[in-house]
Chain A
Amino acid sequence: MARIMEETRKAFITGNEAVTWGALAAGAEIMFGYPITPQNEVMHYWTRLAPQYGKGFLQTEDELSAGFTVCGSVQSGKKAFTATAGPGNVLMQEPFGMAEAMRLPLFAVIQQRGGPSSGTVVYSQQEVTLTTFGGNGEGHRIVYSTASHQEIYDYTIKGFNTAWKYRFPTFLLGDGYQAKMREPLEMYNPEDRGIEMIDTYPLIGLPGHIGENREPQHLCNIYSLEEELYEVVMRVSAEYEAISPELVEYEEKECEDADIIVLSHGVVSRAADDAVKELRAQGIKAGYFRPITLRPYPQKQLREAIAKSGAKKLLIAESAYGQLDRLTKQEIYGETIKIENLFMPGVGIIDYDIISKVKSSL
């Protein structure tokens, strides 16, 4: 694989640019995309950089097409990806569903904007439900929720590998703040960090001669009988559950003796981190827990944090009206810890908001 940069270098760039560089470093070969704010600059940077590295790009007629061209491209064995947001994410649920059904190694970057509908072009965390459980399926997806530009770069590289290793559609869930902010990060070639990139391979368009040394490939996502589909979904569910423990990622701080655990994800977790530090400085025993993977969810680790801390309360803070809250509750069903909420749909959350909420909750 061609080296994208001569050596590790520091950069001060937007999150969308970090996606592009991460995709290049990961060996992505082609992007299919359709304009929607706030992910546009992923395409802007890609279209400028891609020709220098012999990569492909197509601006499709809509997000349906962007998603389905990625499905076709990965079936033919290419490391393809797309990026979208908001109503574009809604349209892409159709191809994402096909990727789930056919176990296609699709990788997509979602930069959340406000909703419902056209909402705002700015920011939110309102695409959690859609990205984790969208489509007419069972949520057999892997979703990384990033909180910094370094993570955007790291998880773009990791996202391609996860998609191709496990063949479940994989998502990097960012947001408009992360997309548009500039922030320092280190960019590197994966091999310089000991990261081995997973080789891609075609599912159709295979080498050889049909009838002589290979069979024709017949891929499908529809079944005639209920029992056929049942067996497929049960088998895929079992595979997903089997790999979940090795996929789960999370961050936990100060939970050992916490009276209250602040639970958040994505960029809000940075405010939560600051808030917990400040609360601790004021003598309030606050803890911090952040799922990095929203699918699969680190439910075992969260249950353990609750158990070992003996915390009386869990504060769920998010820039949505309860999407992380619902996801968390279904994952930790049976826990009796009291759950408080800080729901600020479509607007940013700062440490002050969380500190105030914690103080009023205790």
Chain B
Amino acid sequence: MGMIAPVTPKSWYLPSKPHKFCPGCGHGIVLKALGETIDELEIQDKVVFGCDIGCSLLAWNFFACDSTQTHHGRTTPVMVGIKRSRPELVTIGYMGDGGGYSIGSQHLLNAAVRNEKVSLILVNNTNYGMTGGQMAPTTLPGQKTETSPFGRDPELTGYPTKGPEFLAELTSDKAYVARATVAKYKQLKRFLRNALRNQMEGNGFSFVEVLSTCPTNWRTNAQQTWNFLEEEMEPYFPVGELKSPFGKGDK
């Protein structure tokens, strides 16, 4: 019996497929949504895709778009340098919660304040995946990781970072700030599209956090993985558009 090959976005780089993410990882979903969005906006030739260190690194040759790989946390300034130099390009920075909210937080915060015309996508899987599952700024209270083996204690390490919330407070009305989840694919695509449109229309800073899954480090099976995403993460990290120049926010 013949197999039906899944439709792949035109902007995917096929020699690098199948991709290298773990089974059950959410990155593939985010990158599929991004690929389809790049296709729909017909910007493949103008995109510069930049990826951070961490699992996001594995996307360094994911797209048939010009791409550059940076250091941990430094994707934001590299994208800023490119966009400031070549405003006609569409710069997409791709990073994890460690890269964006911890080691690169000063870049994220200041790029937002300066309303840099870049689009940043931050995948939140509540831990440092590539390095073996350490506690991240987004690790939930009580969540066990390699560096919080008895569960994250907010008394010792604070509460999880709510990135879109603080970025929404820092940015001008021209910014686009949203939180999506891999559990809601159509909404994810709409938010990514808005984030790219906002840059292309010259409005300003665009940011989408995407709630994602990490069964390898969560040590969860399929059902537990999805349950953690929808029942544990989403209540703490509300999904929706926090700031949009395109009219009323989509909750």
Q: Which residues of A contact B (CB under 8 A)?
A: 29-30, 32, 56, 58, 60-62, 64-65, 68-73, 75-78, 80, 94-95, 98, 202-206, 208-211, 216-222
Contacts and interface: CB of A to CB of B under 8 A. Distances in A.
B89 A76 contact: yes
Which among B69, B74, B107 has the highest number of chain A CB atoms within 10 Å?
A: B74
Q: Which 3 A-B pairs have the closest CB atoms?
A: A72-B81, A69-B81, A61-B110
B67 interface: yes
Contacts of B78: 68-69, 71-72, 75
A209 B46 CA distance: 9
Interface of B: 10, 13, 44-46, 48, 50, 53, 57, 60-61, 63-71, 74, 77-82, 84-86, 89, 106-107, 109-110
Contacts of B44: 210
B13 A69 contact: no
Given A216-B13, A218-B61, A98 B70 contact: yes
Given A56-B84, A65-B107, 13 more contacts: A62-B106, A64-B106, A69-B84, A71-B78, A72-B81, A76-B48, A204-B66, A205-B66, A205-B82, A205-B89, A216-B65, A220-B68, A222-B57
A219 B82 contact: no
Contacts of B85: 29-30, 56, 72-73, 76-78, 80
A23 to B, nearest CB: 15
Nearest to B57: A222
Interface centre among B44, B60, B84 (most CB of A within 10 A): B84
A76 B109 CA distance: 24
B64 A222 contact: no
A98 to B, nearest CB: 6
B64 A76 contact: no
A218 B67 contact: yes
B84 A219 contact: no
B70 A68 contact: yes
Contacts of B67: 204, 216-219
Contacts of B79: 72
Contact of A219 (B10, B68, B71, B77): B68
- Give the residue among A56, A216, A217 with the most B Cβ atoms within 10 A: A216
A77 B86 contact: yes
A129 to B, nearest CB: 22
B45 A208 contact: yes
Contacts of A80: 81, 85
Most-contacted residue by chain B among A30, A32, A75, A77 (CB, 10 A): A75
B71 A68 contact: yes
B66 A64 contact: no
Contacts of B66: 204-206, 216-218
A68 B82 CA distance: 10
Contacts of B69: 219-222
A176 B137 CA distance: 40
A66 B134 CA distance: 29
Nearest to B79: A72
